Structure 1
Amino acid sequence: MTSLIETAPAERRSAELEELVQQQPQQFRVLTGDRPTGLLHLGHYFGTLHNRVRLQRQGVELMVVIADYQVLTDRDVAEHLQQHVEDLVLDYLAAGIDPQRATIFTHSAVAALNQLLLPFLSLVSVAELSRNPTVKDEIAHSRQAAVSGLMFTYPAHQAADILFGKANLVPVGQDQLPHLELTRTIARRFNDRYRPLFPQPDALLSPAPLLLGTDGTKMSKSRGNAILLSATADETARQIRGAKTDSQRHITYDPQTRPEVASLLLLAGLCSGRDPQELATEIGAGGAALLKKVVTEAVNEHLAPLRARRAELAGDRAYLREVLRRGNAAANALAETTLAEVREAMNTRY
């Protein structure tokens, strides 16, 4: 876990960046993305999607990578990769990401981006890769018998994702700060060894709310405890009715001692724009039944426009592929320019 001492400067810098984004959004290019492992859920929505849409609306240039190369080690996902990628684009657009203003692209379609991985790997040691917290976490949760070289080099690959477009702002959680720091290290070492070319991207800390799944553990697609953005209102109601609470009838907001109840209250608060503590006071003696009714109504009302838009777009897969084609073309043009600059800096233009 990243220590408080390490995160305090990042938190201060992030607060400064938020002010700068409001004042001069055109000065920033954001890189963010996801691996196409399945449909997105409420944890993704309030953890990342909502923040991306906010930044886009403020006028920040947004680049979103679908990291399809990073799921090749997962056989179940790889067998249905095209559908997973298209579903991810569908969730993005439904959530409010505007393909006319954002560049949505895939790893596999941008050859020049991936070519940057080789010189970048020459700038980091095996020890630096192996002690990266994200790599450790991936290894710990991997269902594979052995760790692939692709997974091991993931931090350097992500550096290529960020630096090929010279993104200067990356929304992350505190647990991802070491990951971004390696990107900054690679940029700094390249600039020192060859010539100044890459910005050292800043972290925009995203304090994603901790939403538990319906079983009281971390919301996750693989655990079957997530409320999907694509779920119907009835499916959502059924899942929330079965959500874990506790034996106390009177509803209070206490994240430490009543995490399951607190998570439901937080979800209702996020969806309705209200304070979870106020909701708890109103529900009070109404118990878990009233709590779940309030949560269900708040979630379904909040997601209704998103779900309507998603249903509309789902019938036009050709449009989803066109969004990707345009995004891939734009990303390729940018990557080719950057790769040419890298070759020039490294004296490898023959």
Structure 2
Amino acid sequence: MLSAEPSAVPVLTAADLIADPGAHRVLTGDRPTGPLHLGHYFGTLQNRVRLQDQGVEMFVLVADYQVITDRDLADRLAEHTENLVLDYLAAGLDPERATIFAHSAVPALNQLLLPFLSLVSVAELSRNPTVKDEIAHSSQAAVNGLMFTYPVHQAADILFCKADLVPVGQDQLPHLEVARTVARRFNERYPHADGSAVFPRPRALLSEAPMLLGTDGGKMSKSRGNAVALGADEDETARIIRGARTDADRRITYDPTGRPGVSGLLLLAALCQDRAPETIAEEIGDGGAAVLKRTVIESVNEYFRPLRVRRAELATDRGHLRQVLRAGAERANAIADATLAEVREVMGAI
């Protein structure tokens, strides 16, 4: 009989983290489905670098196996994987302090999916709101089994290295709840001989970054063509931002509910300038969309110029990117092999 799991996922506060950053291990990552964009930077990358610099142990996953959860082909997977590492390094992740690795290079991690699947019911998976949303936006004619087990695969990602902290947005809490459920049920069913637990129950580190909208006023997304890629040059950045949706009101104000397009652009400029969007709106005043877009273009190009220079330099040595992945895989494999051996031991496996 599967026991119920409390719905609330405990959240670690920034104060808790700062008090003892070295006590925490973080698992985070991305699917290599295309270039990372400005929303990724302000939403996650910037925070990952901050955590790394605070002394938190970082595991950054390139979730290449999860590319085929919602599409039939893993198009240009090797290229996208290397470019993801390129974006990571350009943003400031340091492979000497962060373990950067790919799913497909760590067999023991993926093998944990099998015992973990025995700990959750089909009904629980079908009720998961994130799975429902992913299925709704899938490009496939039929939902495959990997999509259905996506939250349990993520639990394996988190638990293989015994991460105790996962940076997430509010909408990703159901996935973390699955990982906590899997950890609790495994520990109850297969404790060590002395009664101690095999896995920690990870907590959430909720992102405080506001969500950036795409140039069409919708969610910024790699697949929707409404975002500025980190690797975009200044001319391309200007072209994309000039095409952003605004409205007919010449007076520029910050009103995320009533004027999402204008407010999204103001927020982007504000993040780049480290100022309040209301202040920038007041300065633009009656300048209209043309002045707003010019301000955003200048702000983005100025802020990301050093990152883009680093990215261009790193891109000249693709061998270095592959070496980063090899080194990360070596460390991740050592940990995953040890965890799988521990799992097999407590389960009584041969």
Length-normalised TM-score, structure 2: 0.94
| Equivalent residue for 1:164, pick from 146, 156, 160 | 160
- Asked if residue 49 in structure 1 is aligned to residue 45 in structure 2, the reply is yes
Aligned-partner residue type, residue 44 of structure 1: H
CA contact (8 A) 1:135 1:154 kept: yes
The equivalent residue for 1:68 is 64
Q: Which residue identity is paired with 1:110?
A: V
Query: 1:236-286, CA deviations, whole angstroms, 9 ceiling, x for partnerless residues?
Result: 011111211100001111111111111100000001100000011111011
Q: Which amino acid aligns with 2:136?
A: A
3-state DSSP of counterpart to 2:205: strand
CA change 1:109–1:298 in 2 (3 A) is same
In structure 2, the gaps of 5 or more residues are: 1-5, 192-196
Is residue 2:123 matched to residue 1:122? no
Q: Is the 8 A contact 1:31 1:65 kept in 2?
A: yes
Q: Identity, % of aligned pairs? A: 70
Give the deviation of 1:73 after TM superposition: 4.7
- Tell me how far 1:216 sits from its aligned partner: 1.6
SS at match of 1:72: helix
Q: State the one-letter code of the partner of 1:149.
A: G
Residues 166-219 of structure 1 deviation map (CA, whole Å, 9 limit, x = unaligned): 000000011111110110000000000010110000001113322111122221
> What secondary structure sits across from 1:222 in the alignment?
coil
Shift, 1:47, TM fit? 1.0
What corresponds to 2:270 in structure 1? 269
Give the RMSD, CA atoms, in angstroms: 1.4
Q: Is the 8 A contact 2:70 2:134 kept in 1?
A: no
Q: 1:148 and 2:144 equivalent?
A: yes
> 2:183 corresponds to which residue?
187
Determine the structure 2 residue equivalent to 1:332.
333
Q: Who is 1:3 aligned against? A: none
Deviation of 1:17 after TM superposition, in Å, equals 3.0
* SS of residue in 2 equivalent to 1:310: helix
1:207 counterpart = 2:208: yes
In structure 1, the gaps of 5 or more residues are 1-5
Answer 1 or 2: which has greater helix percent. Answer: 1
Structure 1 residue 347 displacement after superposition: 0.8
Report SS of the residue matched to 1:243: coil
1:312-337 superposed Cα distances (whole Å, 9 cap, x missing partner): 01111000000000000000000001
2:93 is matched with 97
Structure 2 distance, partners of 1:73, 1:284, is 46
Counterpart AA for 1:255: P
1:31 to 24, 27, 30: 27
Letter in 2 for 1:232: D
Match in the other structure for 1:319: 320
Partner of residue 238, structure 1 = 239
Question: Matches of 2:331 and 2:338 in 1, distance apart?
Answer: 11
